[in-house]
């Protein structure tokens, strides 16, 4: 058994089972959380440590707060010309700011990787005999590049596959899971 054994920095008594997709540090299943990165058409799943998860959620909440501030300023500008529109824009902006602040204060719970693995174990694994991982990977690359752009799409797909493989999945199984999720998302829209 070659290689270095990593321990979770938050739980030194536990072995690290995966890496955070943002910072690259090793963590145990209790520390890594699934984070869904959304676009207009689809989602990408990353695994993040508590600090990186907090940072991403804070960034998302800050973007919402900024939108609210912009609406308040637009409302103030409209107040010079059309005061009813100014009142509506101002109230809408304040509402969005409050919503963003609440998002920062109470982050939504994301499923832990250990919970996901337990759920998948209950469902059971499929046979990979008839599955051509390289062909499906090429199709996924095309889909991600079309959706996210060349560099970002390939990087997101590779990070998703890396997150699965760092948690013990084979490359083929990781590609299959991502492909199945893509199919579910395509059929649900």
Q: Residues 100-139: pLDDT tens digits?
A: 777 777 655 555 555 555 555 555 544 455 678 888 888 8
Question: Which of 73, 105, 137 is a domain's end point?
Answer: 105
Locus of tokens 């590609």: 175
Residues 95 and 134 in one domain: no
Q: Is the pLDDT of residue 7 over 60?
A: yes
**Is residue 34 one of the residues assigned to a domain?**
no
Enclosing domain of residue 88: 55-105
Chain-wide mean pLDDT for the chain?
A: 77
Query: How many domains, the chain?
Result: 2
pLDDT in the model for residue 1 = 42
Average pLDDT of 39-61?
84
**Is residue 45 one of the residues assigned to a domain?**
no
**Is residue 40 one of the residues assigned to a domain?**
no
Contacts of 160 (CB under 8 A, 6+ apart): 44, 45, 46, 174, 178
**Is residue 93 one of the residues assigned to a domain?**
yes
CA 137/CA 154 separation, integer angstroms? 10
pTM metric for this prediction: 0.48
Residues 137 and 188 in one domain: yes
Residues 135 and 187 in one domain: yes
Residues 132 and 88 in one domain: no
**Is residue 157 one of the residues assigned to a domain?**
yes
């Amino acid at each position: 058994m070659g290689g270095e054994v990593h321990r979770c920095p938050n739980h030194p008594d536990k072995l690290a089972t995966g890496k955070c997709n943002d910072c690259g540090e090793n963590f145990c299943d209790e520390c890594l959380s699934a984070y869904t990165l959304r676009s207009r058409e689809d989602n990408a799943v990353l695994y993040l440590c508590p600090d990186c998860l907090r940072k991403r959620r804070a960034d998302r909440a800050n973007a919402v707060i900024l939108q609210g501030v912009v609406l308040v300023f637009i409302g103030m500008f409209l107040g010079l010309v059309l005061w009813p529109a100014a009142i509506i824009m101002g109230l809408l902006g304040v509402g969005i700011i409050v919503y963003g602040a609440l998002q920062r204060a109470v982050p939504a719970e994301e499923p832990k990787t250990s919970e996901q693995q337990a759920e998948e174990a209950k469902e059971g694994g499929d046979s990979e005999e008839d599955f051509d991982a390289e062909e499906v990977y090429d199709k996924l690359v095309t889909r991600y590049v079309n959706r996210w752009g060349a560099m970002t799409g390939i990087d997101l797909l590779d990070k998703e596959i890396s997150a699965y493989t760092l948690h013990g999945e084979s490359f083929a199984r990781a590609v299959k899971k991502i492909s199945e999720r893509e199919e579910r998302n395509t059929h649900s829209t």
